Homo-oligomer: A and B are copies of this chain.
Amino acid sequence: MGIKLDPWGHLSISDYEKLFTQFGIEPIDSVIEKLPVKHYFFTRKIVFGHRDMEKWLDALKCGEKVVVLTGFMPSGHTHLGHLMVFEELKYLQQLNAHIHVAIADAEAYVVRRLSRRRAIKYGLEYIAHAIAWGLDPDRTIFYFQTNQSTDYYRLIQLFSRKTSLAEMEAIYGELSPAKIVAALTQAADILHPQLSSYGGYKYVLVPVGADQDPHIRLTRDIADRFSTELGLERPASMYHKFITGLDGNKMSSSRPEYAIFLLDDEESVKRKVLNALTGGRATAEEQRKLGGQPGKCSIYQLYMYLLSIDNKELLEVYNSCTSGKLLCGECKRKAYEKLAKVLSEHKKKYKKVVETGVLEKVVEKPSF
């Protein structure tokens, strides 16, 4: 999918046409008007689409019970890609939604084949970072997929009756018992907050990347199939773009040189940022003449997602780049300084979370 950016990172509809027309994801525009506080993730179309989110916002407005549920696959150290989701959750919590965070340790073990020890360790790290970033643990439920209640697991069992291998194969490709159990577990993650033992019916919103929409569709279908029997309703969903790694691909812990981890030391951050892929031209001279290409630049992504919350400031970066005034070296240094400051403040808070033993209070570790 070729992504074209304007200063605000807007996508032209054509980029996501298939999602909108073929799969029925709605553009985010109509939702933005309804947001009581307009986070730059929405106005910059980092969150670009949704299903049924207007309904969810109406419920929020009317004071009905609303939750946001998201899952993290604990397969590596926490990086900026995760931080963007923490920011999303923090924002939705400020709107008054209760937050549920699933650590997908079952999936990490069965599909990604991580050891239990590592999956649990990474999971705890995500939780500590989420709290350090500002998620209020008193209004957040953190849990491990392998450490849930009987009612949650009963859903996994019951859901298996009303799903077929064919529909799973269409989503997950070649199947295995592991993938099937992981898929049913994910559906239980999304739908269990509606159970009476979890406080009864509530409106659920799931923020995900567009690549996760097939899971959402399967889960919505399962909800339909159990609407009479268990009173389940379809979840709403919202779709975000991912911050790219410093090589222009998806940021991932499997390519650590191109990811910024939240606990990276300053030297590493500096090295990674200064080596990042930019939208710069072959020579400084050419760049002064033609201007840089922020749409191809991983550093510009840093500004847009995290470093320039202020629109005026972001526009300035954009204009000075495209006009050829700001060259990549200087731009990278500025980005590094801003990023180092953000990370250094975050690290202090993270350290405090870990040291004060908050983790032990907010989440129970699986016993094996």
Residue positions of A touching B, CB distance < 8 A: 106, 109-111, 113, 116, 145-151, 153-154, 156-161, 163-165, 168, 175-178, 180-182, 184-185, 195-197, 229-230, 366-368
**Cα distance A180–B165 in the bound complex, in angstroms:** 10
Q: How far is the CA of A153 from the CA of B145 in the complex (A)?
A: 10
A154 to B145, CA, bound (A): 9
Known contacts A154-B366, A368-B154; A160 and B180 CB within 8 A of each other: yes
Bound form: Cα–Cα A275–B150 in Å: 47
Q: Are the C-beta atoms of B157 and A106 separated by less than 8 Å?
A: yes
**A146-B157, A153-B153 given. 17 additional CB < 8 A pairs?**
A106-B154, A110-B158, A110-B160, A116-B158, A146-B153, A147-B150, A149-B150, A151-B368, A153-B156, A156-B181, A160-B178, A160-B180, A163-B177, A164-B176, A181-B181, A181-B184, A196-B367
Closest 6 pairs between A and B when the two form their complex, measured CB to CB: A160-B181, A153-B153, A110-B161, A160-B177, A106-B157, A146-B154
CA–CA, A357 to B110, complex, Å?
Answer: 42
Q: Are A165 and B185 in contact (CB under 8 A)?
A: no
B157 and A145 contact, CB distance less than 8 A = yes
Task: State A313–B58 Cα separation when bound (angstroms).
Answer: 79
Q: Which residue of B lies closest to A229 (CB)?
A: B116
Within 8 Å CB of A157, what residues of B? 106, 109-110, 145-146, 181, 185
Q: Given A148-B150, A367-B197, do A176 and B165 touch, yes or no (CB 8 Å)?
A: yes
Q: What residue in chain B is nearest A161 (Cβ atoms)?
A: B110
A105 to chain B, nearest CB (A): 9
Chain B residues within an 8 Å CB radius of A109: 157-158, 161
Of all chain B residues, the one with the shortest Cβ separation from A111 is B161
Q: Is the CB of B175 within 8 A of A165?
A: yes
Min CB distance A185 to B, Å, is: 7
> Which residues of chain B have C-beta atoms less than 8 A from A151's C-beta?
367-368
Docked-complex contact A230 and B110, CB < 8 angstroms: no
A153, A159, A367 pick with most chain B CB within 10 angstroms: A153
Contact B161 A113 (CB under 8 A): yes
Q: Which residues of B contact A148 (CB under 8 A)?
A: 150, 153
Q: For residue A110, which residue of chain B has the nearest CB?
A: B161
Nearest chain B CB to A60 CB, angstrom units: 27
Tell me which residues across on chain B come within 8 A of A229, comparing CB atoms: 116
C-alpha gap A145/B184 in the complex (Å): 17
**How long is the Cα–Cα vector from A196 to B148 in the complex, in angstroms?**
18
- Which listed residue, B116, B149, B165, touches A177 by the CB 8 Å rule? B165
User: In the complex, what distance in Å separates the CA atom of A15 from the CA atom of B246?
Assistant: 69
Kindly state the separation between the CA atoms of A168 and B178 in the bound complex, as whole angstroms. Answer: 12
With beta carbons under 8 angstroms apart, the residue of B161, B197, B368 that contacts A178 is B161
Closest residue to A168 on the B side, CB-wise? Answer: B177
Q: Which residues of B contact A175 (CB under 8 A)?
A: 165
| Sample (25) of A-B pairs whose CB atoms are under 8 Å apart | A109-B157, A109-B158, A109-B161, A110-B160, A113-B161, A146-B150, A146-B154, A147-B150, A147-B154, A148-B150, A149-B150, A150-B150, A153-B156, A154-B366, A154-B368, A159-B177, A160-B178, A160-B180, A161-B178, A165-B177, A168-B177, A177-B184, A180-B180, A180-B181, A181-B181
Closest B residue to A115 using CB positions: B229
With contacts A147-B150, A157-B146 taken as known, whether A177 is within 8 angstroms of B180 at the C-beta atoms is yes
